[in-house]
Chain A
Amino acid sequence: MASTSGAQKVVSLFSRARRSKSSTTNWITVTSRVGAATCGGYALTYACTAWLSAVLPLAKSEAVLTASMISFVIYTAAILWAFAANTPMRAWLVLLISTGLLSGMTVLMT
């Protein structure tokens, strides 16, 4: 989508929204992606926060707070990534595998 003038860009913004709407008739794909973003993203964030709380070289309460504050940035990134991923399946796989890895590492550490 390489438009030249600003006006064209604005116009293309509208047509794009319309085109993407027509190409999302497959609601299963959309639901799957939304699920990956919200549930998969939350699972990854939860695992990541738990892992950081255990691994950060700080006093216990400080590590927990630091990890918890960062968690909202991680969740935002996970949501955006799930929507940017090539396919919903890929989004699910990557999110769940990294959740599993982080959980495993946390269990081993504590």
Chain B
Amino acid sequence: MKESFSQSMDWLHTWAGLLFGWLLFAIFFTGTLTVFDQEITYWMQPELHHVAHTPLNVNAAMHTLEQLAPQAERWWIELPNERTPASTIRWSQDGTSVSRVIDSQTGQPLTLRNTHGGEFFYRFHYQLLLDEAGTWIVGAAAMAMLAVLVAGIVIHHRIFKDFFTFRPGASSHRAWLDAHNVTSVLALPFHFMITFTGLVIFWSIYMPAGIQVQYDGNMDDFWAEAESFIEPERTNHKAPLVSLRDLERQARRYWQGGQTRSIVVSHPGDSHALVHVYRRSDDRLSLYNDRVTFDGTSGALRTVWINSKPAYMTQSVLSGLHFVQFGSSTLRWLYFGMGLAASAMIATGLVLWVVKRQGRHTATNTVGYQLVEGFNVAAVAGLLVATATFFWANRLLPAELPAREFIELQMFFTVWSLCLGHALLKNFFRHCPSVRIWATQLAMAAMLFGLLPIVNAITTESHLLHALSQGRWEVAGFDLSFLVSGLGLAWTARRLDQSARASSRPLNPHPVTSGG
């Protein structure tokens, strides 16, 4: 391997990029959708679409929690915001947590279809639904991403010039290389930022060395010092809670106009109950924000914690940059676009690996090459098909169906596996050129996305024209995005199909598209 620095970096870029590319594409694509997680959840619960935006009646939420979860270890009350009209209550008891969306005025739970909504993409993009094991896998992929990015810069000699170079008409591998370079260089700071901040969010899981040395591995001691966060043990003596509404009002006085994001009650109903009121973080970069803590039974002020320590603030701002809770919907669209650029960078990189080796009989006849071809199609096009299926399932499964949120997920993963099976079988047994399989699956995704507005119009009352005439962009935006994705994918599928037809004459089983 050892020939020169840039050659070893080339090797690293090629192989680490290939090996982690499939996983990284899934992480980046679902992460990109997560930018609009609240909007996706809202869209996937059309029952919410005629709920008006009203401020939360905090005490009504508290009464509902007292009725539903008097024995809980902890309660959460999430206040509504501009992105969603719904308030959510949540409680944890014996290691499980339950949540309900409530009416902001009456505090009564709303009857909504069960769905994981945007939360699914959010959870998947950082732990693949595998809990802490998944967090480690995603962490490994993120480290690989950082190494591959730096290696990519090292091997890329003409970084500025290539920014203005795109030769779609040139030979196939040169066009793919240009596409890879453009999507990489165009948003390079974003690629670094989003990967690095993703790792920094989970520093205490990935790199607990400091906690081991300074706190003997006790995370609670760290939080006690960093956030003045100390919770007493439960006494098991019953004591009524004071009015949460009064405490929430009192807390806001410390924030110079800052609004409340959530109220957390630990040991509700116990004489050691504590009430934490958290400030919203959408008016600032830093994610972890000011907190006011009260004694739950007397209402006495316990702690006013303001995020002010430099290192803590830095970590909090880095996390905030990743979570993008600040700013407006314009900024979220910008993140969405950059996230798509990152996904496209990974996808074109994967394609490039295959295209580079095309026409070499020794390389293309191996099982490994065919596996890569199949995995590429399923990882990129298959994921698009599965995502569209997830939205279809949300609209087509009956709203009252028991465990329908799991069926939505099952359909997502079943369709994704079927796409992988389709790609591998076609490639191995039918010797179908991979361009054809790409075209088929992209056409499938195009059709599924393109028809979603029609499915939506048939199954809900908030169809495109209705939403547009009412100026409800949070609903109409989905239909319009689906249409644009459908058209874009259809165009790509058509182009691939044409190039497959042009290059796969019966006498030429190995398409050589290079012009040079």
Contacts and interface: CB of A to CB of B under 8 A. Distances in A.
To the question of whether A and B form a pair in one complex, the answer is yes
Interface residues of A, number: 50
A20 B7 contact: yes
A68 B203 contact: yes
Contacts of B225: 59-61
B213 interface: yes
A16 B9 CA distance: 11
B209 interface: yes
A83 B5 CA distance: 9
Contacts of B196: 72-73
Nearest to B363: A18
B11 interface: yes
Given A17-B356, A33-B1, A83 B209 contact: no
B309 A87 contact: no
A50 B209 contact: yes
A80 B420 CA distance: 33
A70 to B, nearest CB: 10
Contacts of B200: 68-69, 72
Interface string B207-242: 101111111000000100110000000000000000
A11 B211 CA distance: 49
B146 A65 contact: no
Interface in A22-56: 23-24, 29-30, 33, 37, 45-47, 49-50, 52-54
A50 B414 CA distance: 44
Contacts of A57: none
B35 interface: no
Given A6-B158, A61-B226, A84-B5, A68 B10 contact: no
B255 interface: no
Contact of B1 (A24, A64, A71, A76): A24
Interface string B1-29: 11111111111101000000000000000
Contact of A64 (B161, B222, B318): B222
B213 A13 contact: no
A23 B143 contact: no
Contact of A17 (B14, B158, B210): B14
Given A62-B311, A69-B314, A110-B213, A20 B207 contact: no
A56 B226 CA distance: 16
Nearest to A41: B143
A4 B12 CA distance: 24
A83 B1 CA distance: 9
A87 to B, nearest CB: 7
A94 interface: no
Interface residues on B, range: 35 or more
Interface in B281-320: 309-312, 314-315, 318
A24 B213 contact: no
B161 A80 contact: no
B280 interface: no
B210 A83 contact: no
A76 B150 contact: yes
B275 interface: no
A47 to B, nearest CB: 7
Contact of A29 (B1, B210, B311, B315): B1
B147 A59 contact: no
Nearest to B140: A38
A37 B311 CA distance: 28
Interface string B401-414: 00000000000000
Contacts of A6: 158, 161
Contact of A14 (B5, B173, B318): B173
Contact of A63 (B7, B14, B174, B214): B214
A97 interface: no
A54 B214 contact: yes
B213 A83 contact: no
Contacts of B69: none
Contact of A71 (B6, B207, B310, B516): B207
B214 to A, nearest CB: 5
A14 B311 CA distance: 44
B380 interface: no
Contacts of B206: 71-72
A67 interface: yes
Contacts of B310: 62
B177 interface: yes
Contacts of B5: 84
B2 A86 contact: yes
A19 to B, nearest CB: 8
B157 interface: yes
B11 A53 contact: no
Contacts of A17: 10-11, 14, 356
A64 B177 contact: no
Given A10-B177, A20-B3, A23-B1, A80 B14 contact: no
B8 A84 contact: yes
A67 B151 CA distance: 24
Given A1-B4, A80-B150, A86-B2, A49 B356 contact: no
Interface string B155-195: 10110010000000000011001000000000000000000
6 contacts: A17-B11, A45-B207, A46-B209, A60-B214, A61-B225, A80-B147
Given A47-B209, A68-B204, A80-B151, 17 more contacts: A1-B7, A20-B10, A33-B1, A45-B209, A49-B207, A50-B213, A53-B210, A53-B214, A58-B311, A61-B214, A62-B311, A65-B226, A71-B206, A72-B196, A72-B200, A80-B12, A87-B2
